[in-house]
Structure 1
Amino acid sequence: MLWKCRWRGDCNDESESWRTSRDHLHSADIQTGVIYPFCDHLPMIRKRGTWFCTSCFKKSKEAHVKAIQDYALLFDVKVKNRDLRKFLHLDSSTTMKKILKSMDIKPTPNYKFSSLPNPAS
C-alpha cells in the first residue's frame, strides 16, 4: 500500500523505476502527510491528539504509525524532528516528540536524530 498511496505517478505500470529502487525517487514524486487507512484520503489533520479525515470525517489516534513506517522505508530510519514534521504536515515540534515517545522511539544520545524502527526487517 505504501507505493500506491504515496507515489504521484502511474502505480499500475510495473516497469516504473520507483518499484525497483528508492534511489530513483525524488521528493516531489512522494505525497506527504498522514493517510487515513479506511478511505485512503490524504492528508489527515491533527487536532488535540487525534487525526481527522477531511473526506469521511472519521478520526484515528494511530494513523501516524503507517506514515512514519513509510518515511523509514522511503528515506531513512534516522530522522530529524523537523523532517518528520514536514512529512506528516505538523507544525509543533512538541507534538512530534509526543508522537515519537508514544511509539517508544527515543532520540539518539546527541539528540540530533531519532532512530525509527526498520520496517524492512
Structure 2
Amino acid sequence: MDYYLSFLDVKGYYIFHDLRLHTGNKYFQMDILILSANYLLILEIKNIIGTVQFENYFNQFIRTVNGLEEGFYNPIFQTDKQKYMLKQWLNVQKFNTPPIESLICFTNPQTIIRADSRVKGTDSVIHSQNLLKIAEMDQKHRTSIFTKKDLLKIARCLIKSNKQDSSNVLARFNIAPDEIIKGVHCPRCYKIPIDRKRGNWYCSNCKIHSKDAYIDSLKDHLLLFGPQFTHLQFKEFLKINSNSIASKLISSLNLSYSGTSYKRTYILNNDDFLPK
C-alpha cells in the first residue's frame, strides 16, 4: 500500500495509518485515512488469499481457499460504519463535515474478487494496484471544504486523538505475557538482554555503551502491557537486580504516580521517555 500511496502528491494530502478514535462513547478504527481539502477517504486494507465473494441475499462476505468456505465480516458494512463514526467524530470536534469516501483494497494481487450483481457498494472494492482511482475522486469532488490552515488543524487533532489499544496487543496475536523476552535491548543490533556496567548499558555483541538504552524498552512496555507499572514490574521487565538503580532510573523520568511509596504505581505517557 505504501508503494501505491507514494504516487499521491504529498502537498495535496495528509495520510494517516491505523487511527483509533473516540466519539465520546465508542471507539472506531481505520486502517488508512487520507485527508484532502475537498474530501476524506477511508481505506480498508484486506490481505486475504483465495477467492472472495460478496453475496447479496444474506449480505455475506465469503472466502474460499482449497475448497473450504469461510465467512468474514462484510467490509462494505465495515466502511459504512467507519464513515458514520468519522462524521460523528468531526461533529464532536466541531469541524465541517466534507464528503467521505471509502475504498476496500485487497493487497494480494492473486486474490480473486467476485460479487453478486445485486450487491451495492462493490464499486468501492479494488485491488491495491488500482489505487489511482483516487484521481477519479479528485475529479468528483472539486469544491474545497478546508483551507490549508483547516487541514493542519484537523491533522494535529487526529494525531492527538489517536488512542491505540495497547491492552489487547498480546491477545490479538495470541501471545502469552510470559513469552515476552525481558531485559533492555541493544539500540543498534537489538540483542536482548544487554548488561548494565558502571552506569551504562553495554552490548557484548556490537560493543556499544548507552546511558539511555532502557528508554526504548519502556516504550515496548507501554505498547505491550499498557502505561502503568510498579517498582517491581519495572525491575522485572528491564531485568535490573538493584532496587537503588531501578529507583534512580524511575526518578529520572519524573513520572506521574498514584499510591504510597511502598505500593506506588507509575504512569507512562508518550512525553515521559526522555530523562528530565
- Which interval holds the TM-score relative to the shorter structure? 0.7 to 0.9
Specify the alignment match of 2:186 in structure 1.
36
Paired residue for 1:113? 265
State the Cα distance separating 1:100 from its structure 2 match.
Answer: 1.4
Change (3 A) 1:33 1:21: same
Q: Which residue of 1 aligns with 2:241?
A: 91
1:110 shift after superposition: 2.5
Q: Please tell me the root mean square deviation across aligned C-alpha atoms, in Å.
A: 2.3
Structure 2: where are the runs of 5+ without partners? Answer: 1-46, 49-167, 272-276
* Counterparts of 2:200 and 2:258, CA distance in 1: 27
Q: Which has the higher contact order (CA 8 A, sep 6+)?
A: 1
Q: TM-score, normalised by structure 1?
A: 0.73
Q: In the alignment, which residue of structure 1 is the partner of 2:170? A: 22
- Structure 1 residue 49 and structure 2 residue 199: aligned? yes
Q: C-alpha displacement at 1:73, in angstroms?
A: 1.2
Q: How does 1:63-78 map to 2 (within 5 A)?
A: 63-78=213-228
| Unpaired segments ≥5 residues, structure 1 | 1-13
Structure with greater strand percent: 2
Amino acid of the residue matched to residue 169 of structure 2? S
CA distance in structure 2 between the partners assigned to 1:114 and 1:92 by the alignment: 18
- Residues 19-44 of structure 1, C-alpha deviation per residue, up to 9 Å, x if partnerless? x8322321232111111111111111
Counterpart residue type for residue 196 of structure 2: R
The number of aligned residues is: 102
TM-score, normalisation: structure 2: 0.34
Contact 2:170/2:177 (<8 A) preserved = no
Confirm or deny: 8 A CA contact 1:77 1:118 kept in the other structure.
Answer: no
Report deviation, 1:106: 4.2
CA distance in 2 between counterparts of 1:62 and 1:86 reads 17
Alignment identity in percent? 26
Shift of 1:54: 1.5
The C-alpha deviation readout for 1:64-95, integer Å capped at 9, x for no partner, is: 00001111111121101111111111011211
Whose radius of gyration is greater, 1 or 2?
2
